[in-house]
Structure 1
Amino acid sequence: MPEQASRLHTAVRGYLDHLTVERGLAANTLQSYRRDLNRYLDFLTARGITDLRDVRADDVASFLRTLREGDAHHRPLGANSAGRAVIAVRGLHRFALREGLTAHDPAHEVRPPALQRRLPKAITVAQVEALLAAADIGGGPRALRDRALIELLYGTGARISEVVGLDVDDVTRLRPDPHADTEVAAVRFRGKGGKERIVPVGRYARTAVDAYLVRARPGLAAAGRGSSALFLNARGGRLTRQGAWAVLHAAAERAGLRDVSPHTLRHSFATHLIDGGADVRVVQELLGHASVTTTQVYTLVTVDRLREVYAAAHPRARVSR
């Protein structure tokens, strides 16, 4: 390697060593940084630049344009991938300035492209029903448990860790009006940061959980040592996150659904509530979001759906060609 070209590679090696030793970045992240920075070095070398001291802001901006537009050897990158590469480059130049390798930071004013906002993926109500029907196939205690598990995930919008962390005593009966005879089923979840919230349970989920508690859980519990967990595995112990995911995956395969995860049901719960007219603040409380900003992404899903319906149904929505 020519001595001049090695200066760039030496700087990159020093930066990656810094990320490994002092920042403790994961191996996959380091691999991505190394790939992005090697592409940056190739770009600089092609422009005749062999030292970070000679890089100007226009060079970094041109690299970003190349990422977005592609070249003879690389396809165009989306905003997220290009943004990651620019972040790696900005980190390299900050490191070089801090270590005295350069006297200025040419990447300081070059901003990564705005990240594309990924809307949550939700399945339709009909697909939820197909998923629940698939969980019942086979009968027996496990089928009752699986149905109750999926009903509760979709019926409350809870995280998978919250559902498998439930104890039997966390399923309660509330009487909103002390003078009324009717009771409302509810579940006490322990969310992120140890925060607790009470979420009402609808009729379908309540019926499924009751059937599991009466007809299935006692038999599963007999194989264990008296676990207080609501959902038990075949050995009578608490069902793990991996076990719950496997239950959902098997039901989704039987229902002919792809890419369905526990978080898909959480997204579907929120999206269907917003579609039904629920206030975003109420959905925020039910999901246990600390900020309403996190919940508002589901309103974007509804707006997209409204746009699709409008474009398909309104006689003057069609764009002339």
Structure 2
Amino acid sequence: MTTLTALETSYRRQLRARGLSDATTDNYLRSLRALVAWLDTNGLPKEVEQITRHQLQDFVLDTADNTSAATARFHLGNLRPFFGWLCSDEERILPRDANSATGVRCPKPKPVARPTFTGDQVAAFLRACRGSTFDDRRDTAIIRVFADTGVRISGLVGMRYTPDAGHNLENPATDVSLDTNPPLVRFRLKGGKPHLVPVSAATVGAVDRYLRARASHPKAANPALWIGRTGAISGPGVAKMLKKRAHQAGLEGVRVHTHRWRRTRATQLLDAGASAETVAELLGWSDLSMVATYASESRQRRAWNELRNLQL
């Protein structure tokens, strides 16, 4: 009989022969080691010939209980190719009909609360930026753009601005158009595809005030729209700014990260009755299934609001 551990080196060679990256290979082996550790903890045999489908199912369920359904799915997805390899015509370590991964299922993920910023919290952010310094004007503009668009951090820091180009989106060097109807900002989605999103009059005013302050900044020649003391602001720089402003706003204990603005905007649109198609278009999703998580979270609130309006 052959143990899982004894096969690890051969399996690694097989994965590399298939042209898989080192990262993918490491993930496959990580799941294999997780199974070995679970078998050892539970006093079960580690010989491949003795591992049953029921044991593998128990491993998946225990992993989901102790970590998450996503981790269980990750490990099962990595282990399926391994057990297929054991039963392949080339290896024949196990008979073709002895694949223990056949029929093993993953539990459905449990609903996870994904908090959003409340209206009061957004207002507190903006109050913390109230002032006339360069940082105050820049941070106000950034927070309003976040709140209006739910842009990913990569899209925000990737925005460009060249004063000589004006506010003309036909010029790729400028990603703000404050005088069109509606006013627009342009981001680049994953893969570089340009994406236009309307912004509110309050955001137009905030961006305009920032651009006037930016014109006399020592780093004004930098092609990035958002600049600071040393040049373009990075994603970590924006995250640091948000945490600083949250502290100034008294939002202690509130988890502050850039993606929370995206959840906030998606949920806000759905609560207001926007369709999944509209939310996907505004947030730059090509797959409507991306909206499903946010829709499920706001569905109960919409039902309660509708019931209240019915006055039964």
Give the TM-score normalised by structure 2.
0.79
Superposition deviation, residue 172 in structure 1: 0.7
CA contact (8 A) 2:28 2:79 kept: no
1:263-308: CA deviations, max 9, x gaps? Answer: 1011101111211222222221110100122123221121233467
Superposition deviation, residue 135 in structure 1: 3.0
Aligned counterpart, 1:97: 87
2:285 is aligned with 1:289:
yes
SS in structure 2 at match of 1:162: helix
Q: Name the CA shift for 1:153/1:225 in 2 (closer, same or farther; >3 Å).
A: closer
1:58-115: CA deviations, max 9, x gaps? Answer: 332344455567xxxxxx4543333334334434322323443222311122122223
- How many pairs does the alignment contain? 292
**C-alpha separation in 2, matches of 1:159 and 1:68:** 29
**C-alpha separation in 2, matches of 1:296 and 1:198:** 23
1:138-181: CA deviations, max 9, x gaps? Answer: x5111111111111111111111111111222111454xxxxxx
CA contact (8 A) 1:80 1:116 kept: no
Q: Percent identity?
A: 26
**C-alpha separation in 2, matches of 1:27 and 1:50:** 21
CA contact (8 A) 1:40 1:89 kept: no
2:122 is matched with which residue: 117, 125, 128? 128
Aligned counterpart, 1:319: none
2:240 is aligned with 1:242:
no
RMSD of the alignment, in Å? 3.3
Aligned counterpart, 1:157: 150
Superposition deviation, residue 240 in structure 1: 1.4
Q: Name the CA shift for 1:228/1:66 in 2 (closer, same or farther; >3 Å).
A: closer
CA contact (8 A) 1:190 1:197 kept: yes
2:222 is aligned with 1:224:
no
Q: Name the CA shift for 1:135/1:94 in 2 (closer, same or farther; >3 Å).
A: farther
**C-alpha separation in 1, matches of 2:286 and 2:56:** 37
CA contact (8 A) 1:141 1:219 kept: no
Superposition deviation, residue 234 in structure 1: 0.8
1:98-136: CA deviations, max 9, x gaps? Answer: 443222311122122223354543121111111222233
Q: Name the CA shift for 1:89/1:253 in 2 (closer, same or farther; >3 Å).
A: same
CA contact (8 A) 2:157 2:233 kept: yes
**C-alpha separation in 2, matches of 1:159 and 1:291:** 16
SS in structure 1 at match of 2:22: coil
Q: Name the CA shift for 1:262/1:84 in 2 (closer, same or farther; >3 Å).
A: same
Give the TM-score normalised by structure 1.
0.77
SS in structure 2 at match of 1:266: helix
CA contact (8 A) 2:150 2:261 kept: yes
Q: Which runs of 5+ in 1 are unaligned?
A: 70-75, 176-182, 317-321
